[in-house]
Structure 1
Amino acid sequence: MKSINPATEEVLATYKEDDTGTVYAQLDTAREAFESWSERSVSSRERLLANVADVLRENIDKYAKQITIEVGKPLDQAVSEIEKCVWVCNYYSQHSSEYLQNEHIGTEPGAKTYVSYEPLGAILAIMPWNYPFWQVFRFAAPHITSGNVAILKHSPNVFGCAQAIEDIFEEAGYPDGVFTSVQVSVNQVSDIIEDDRVRAVTLTGSTRAGKEVATISGRELKPTVFELGGSDPFVVLDDAPVERAAEVGATARTQNAGQSCIAAKRFIVHETVFDEFLERLTTEFKALTIGDPTDVETDVGPLAREDLLETLHDQVMTSVDAGATLHLGGEPLDQSGYFYPPTILVDVPDETPAATEELFGPVATVFKVESEREALRIANDTQYGLGASVWTTNTDRGESVAQELEAGNVFVNQLVKSDPRVPFSGVKDSGYGTELSRHGIHEFVNKKTIWIEGQGE
């Protein structure tokens, strides 16, 4: 298994897959660690999580560089990713005790009744490469602090990031086995899920992967949380602030080279502002600098792998062959690295990849609609339901539209983003379960009812 710099195609490292004996030993260590870790006070776990935030902050440039060389993310965006990891660690180091305290419920006179939130055990986290630190920390911060232990199965192209994260927890003072990274391929995942030492599973990745893991986990009756693919609509109504919408829309589509499940992908624009929006979006795209992700002037780096580049280009060309108009871009750069330029497709027919599939790269499909009702129809006409964005100068109207959009996260006059303070989830083929906030920390705990009555006289 290799890690390849997507900007230069240089092999950074080659990793040997952990054999079955090594994995079983790691699972044993995790189970043993859980016995004592789960007995610690929440405040003790909070203090260690604050240490993690300190380690991240003190080494932010080193970790950002690791992201950049393995994923191709522009350096300033990699720095922002680490800063967000600091934020989520600080958030749960300050609020976990509140979220996990016993919840008292009134029942019968003289009875003491409450809900106790108790950890489950070892949680397998199958994480993606596109946000190699953030996706891990938004899982680990709440669920380790709630008393569980974590087993990370990261993507092979970011094993360097996985090792760095494991080292961070060790440096912060965590006991051995509380956070463990395993170097395994997808072929070994089913065996790990089926192992009795693993009590729950979370996955961030494709819908296909989610369905496969859900099948295995369901057979084993193990709780799961899935954050899967997305084809987020970006709805621009007739009264939208067009200049601002185009500016934010360009960022929402091209940050991390468009490799984000919650990136704006389908721009659904009212006909009265369509021409102006398309012109402004085109201008914004043309102003973006694509190139070396270590250069501070770069806005768009390469795609993370060669196969991702090939898949994206095939989706674009198949859509064009079926009648879509290539308004901008559409051809991989003729140079080393997996670079694809910011691209815009218009006049996209139904049933083409650009209309129905997730395009994981800097490609915007722009649809013209005649009404708000048509915009909602197209926005909801998808198997996905992760995020959505609505643009209007009338916030009451925006809220009304937001309530009709079939998505787990809807933002009015803002791009879709995850925030530790509010829950994050998807519907339809975008997954289920909740991450972040008070709601997220309760996904992998036993909500135990305790009822106590005296014996009377």
Structure 2
Amino acid sequence: MAYRSVDPATGELIAEHADATDAEIERVLQAAADASAALPSLEERIAAMRAIAAGFREREAELAETIAREMGKPLPQAAGEARLVADIWDWYADRPELLASREMETGWRGRSARVELRPTGPLVGVMPWNFPYYQVARFAAPNLLLGNPVIIKHAGSCTGAALLMQEMADASGLAPGLYQTVLATNGQIARMIEDPRVQGVSLTGSERAGAAVAETAGRALTRCVLELGGSDPFILMSTDDLERDVATAIAARTRNCGQACTSAKRFIVHESLYDAFVERLVAGMAALRIGSPLEEGVEVGPMSSEAAAAELVGQVEAAVAEGATLAGGRRIDRPGAWVEPGVLTGVTRDMAVWHQELFGPVAIVVPVRDAAEAVEAANDSPFGLGANVFDADAERAAWIAERLEAGMVSIGAFGISRPELPFGGVKRSGFGRELGPDAVLEFANRRLVTQPAA
């Protein structure tokens, strides 16, 4: 079964669920269409969104334990995800003004004009396993504020988390059909995207999945948003505290066991700092406490699945075969999907690994001579999601940041995600934006109305 939860710390089966039938898919589609036609008031939707936020706060411990067991996230990180999700739901509930009409000036025959934000109709969200609650919230919250019913197809390994979210949505007072979870097959999702009742699709996942969804959506002329992979650079040119910056680098690479699209993956370091940075990075990665995500003080849990661990180790071994040097980064001999944090050096830009995404706790470190070479190396990637610049020279840091090909650039920080900040990338990292005011626009009908001036 595709919907099969396995504890990655032990390899033990947690639960499995049957795929949806075609009849169930039809009921979901029609319920979404009915909800769109009889849309509850904005006030009713906002009240339900606040109830969902409250549910995430009240059930934080249960929510955290569920994803710790299903995909290996250490409990403090899992609880932090639940808190961020509550903030996202509240942020949109607090901002009905995001839907306000925009008055426009026109000199045509004394008429007035405005642009209204209107819902377009049911949307399908194809969600990943690495941030099971957060990814759903950043798709669902702005669209329920706008009035678009959402149909959530979650990753099969995190069905427990998906069903918990459905339970909270049902208890919130949301009208039937506004938020629905489907255990759909890939074929059923393709047919849903092609269904004329569906007005858009949002996917967070791999390049391959994104290309498949975009192809189907393109044939159906269905709007889509794609948040795909990343190989974010972490550029370090100078520092007044190397120990601090190394600690930041370790956190940037190993949060969520390195399984985040916006994890720093390629560390581009000025040659004057390179040797000292690598020495401290290797020692710091080796010192991280690895263990069950349910244990106190654990910094790195298992990878999400046996398949994920095997893929990462295969990429690392291929890099070593091409001439790279590896410290750590090997399978741990115990049941479960365990991989040591590691560091790859001696990687050249003609190696396959340089152009891939390492979705796990292994860092690539390369030296550069100057800021221009740092920018060139950072941009030499098919991805363009995030980028991070660390430099004691603020003017040079700004110069580098201005030239990076990325949807998000952070100077002096990494991986910032807040409800108010738009999230998305360029190049093969996808297109469209989630979170912030921009998210309301992605699936809105920005309807122009003109009329005689008063």
Q: Which range, TM-score by smaller chain? A: over 0.9
Q: What does residue 348 of structure 1 align with?
A: 347
Deviation at 1:283, TM superposition (A): 2.7
How big is each residue's C-alpha offset from its partner over 1:385-427, in whole Å with a ceiling of 9 and x where there is no partner? 0000000112232122111000000000101222211211100
Identity value in percent: 38
Q: What letter is aligned with 2:336?
A: G
Please tell me the residue identity of whatever aligns with 2:17: Y
> Cα distance, 1:243 vs. partner?
2.1
Give the match for residue 4 of structure 1. 6
Are 1:122 and 1:149, in contact at CA under 8 Å, matched by a contact in 2? yes
Q: Does 1:417 align with 2:419?
A: no
In structure 2, the partner of 1:203 is 203
C-alpha separation between the residues in 1 aligned to 2:148 and 2:439?
A: 14
2:442 matched to which residue of 1?
443
Q: Does 1:294 align with 2:294?
A: yes
Structure 1 partner of 2:318 = 318
3-state DSSP of counterpart to 1:437: coil
Q: 2:275 corresponds to which residue?
A: 275
Q: Which residue of 2 aligns with 1:32?
A: 34
Structure 1 gaps, min length 5: none
Amino acid of the residue matched to residue 410 of structure 2? Answer: F
Q: CA deviation at 1:21?
A: 1.0
- Correspondence 1:26-425 to 2 at 5 A: 26-37=28-39, 40-95=40-95, 97-108=96-107, 110-239=110-239, 241-326=241-326, 328-425=327-424
The one-letter code sitting in structure 2 at the alignment partner of 1:409 is: M
Q: Are residue 13 (structure 1) and residue 15 (structure 2) matched? A: yes
- In the alignment, the residues of structure 1 paired with residue 49 and residue 394 of structure 2 have an alpha-carbon distance, to the nearest angstrom, of 38
SS in 1 for 2:302: coil
| CA–CA distance in structure 2, aligned partners of residues 404 and 67 of structure 1 | 38
In 2: Cα distance, 1:203 partner to 1:18 partner: 19
One-letter identity of the residue aligned with 1:251:
A
**What displacement does 1:42 show?**
2.5
Contact kept in structure 1, 2:139 and 2:434, CA below 8 Å:
yes
Say which SS state the counterpart of residue 201 (structure 1) adopts.
strand
2:371/2:396 contact within 8 Å kept:
no
Aligned AA (2:266): R
Confirm or deny: 8 A CA contact 1:33 1:178 kept in the other structure: yes
Q: The residue matched to 1:416 in structure 2 has which SS? A: coil
Q: Which amino acid aligns with 1:73?
A: K
Contact 1:241 1:393 in 2 (8 A): no
- Structure 2 CA distance for aligned equivalents of residues 158 and 240 of structure 1: 43
Quote how far apart the aligned CAs of 1:307 are: 0.9
Shift in Å at residue 332 of structure 1? 0.5
State how far apart, in whole Å, the 2-side matches of 1:422 and 1:77 are. Answer: 20
Deviation at 1:352, TM superposition (A): 2.5
Partners of 2:292 and 2:193 lie apart in 1 by 39
- Distance apart, 1:240 and its partner CA: 6.1
- Report if aligned partners of 2:238, 2:392 keep a CA contact under 8 Å in 1: no
CA distance in 2, matches of 1:123, 1:431: 18
CA distance in 1, matches of 2:394, 2:448: 42
**Partners of 2:352 and 2:364 in 1: how far apart?**
10
AA in 2 matched with 1:370: R
d(CA) in 2 for partners of 1:9, 1:159: 16
Aligned 8 A contact 1:122 1:199 in 2 = yes
Query: Given residue 147 of structure 1, which amino acid in structure 2 is its aligned partner?
Result: G
Shift of the alpha carbon at 1:235?
A: 0.4
> RMSD in angstroms over aligned alpha carbons?
1.3
- Deviation readout 1:201-243 (Å, 9 max, x if unpaired): 0000011111111111011111111110000000011346422
Q: Which is further off, 17-26 or 344-353? A: 344-353
| CA deviation after TM superposition for structure 1 residue 184, in Å | 1.5
CA 409–240 in structure 1, closer or farther in 2 if over 3 Å, else same: farther
Deviations 1:108-127 (Å, cap 9, x if unpaired)?
37422100000011100000
User: Does the 8 Å contact 2:20/2:182 carry over to 1?
Assistant: yes
* Aligned 8 A contact 2:202 2:224 in 1: yes
Q: CA offsets per residue over residues 82-118 of structure 1, 9 Å max, x none?
A: 00001101110111x1111111112137422100000
Q: Distance in 1 between matches of 2:414 and 2:407?
A: 14
Q: Which amino acid aligns with 1:105?
A: M
Could you tell me whether the CA contact under 8 Å between 2:268 and 2:366 is conserved in 1?
Answer: yes
- Distance in 2, Cα, partners of 1:5 & 1:310: 16
Deviations 1:311-356 (A, max 9, x none): 1001000000100011x21320000110101000101133324311
| In 2: Cα distance, 1:378 partner to 1:293 partner | 35
Tell me, in whole angstroms, the C-alpha distance in 2 between the residues paired with 1:285 and 1:278. Answer: 10
Residue pair 1:231, 1:386 contacting (<8 A) in 2 also: yes
Moved over 4 A (4+): none
The aligned amino acid for 2:274 is F
Counterpart in 2 of 1:428? 427
Q: How many residues align?
A: 451
- TM-score, structure 2 as length reference: 0.97
C-alpha change, 1:431 and 1:245, in structure 2 (3 Å) is same
TM (norm. structure 1) is: 0.96
SS of the equivalent of 2:92 reads: helix
The one-letter amino acid of 2:173's match is: G
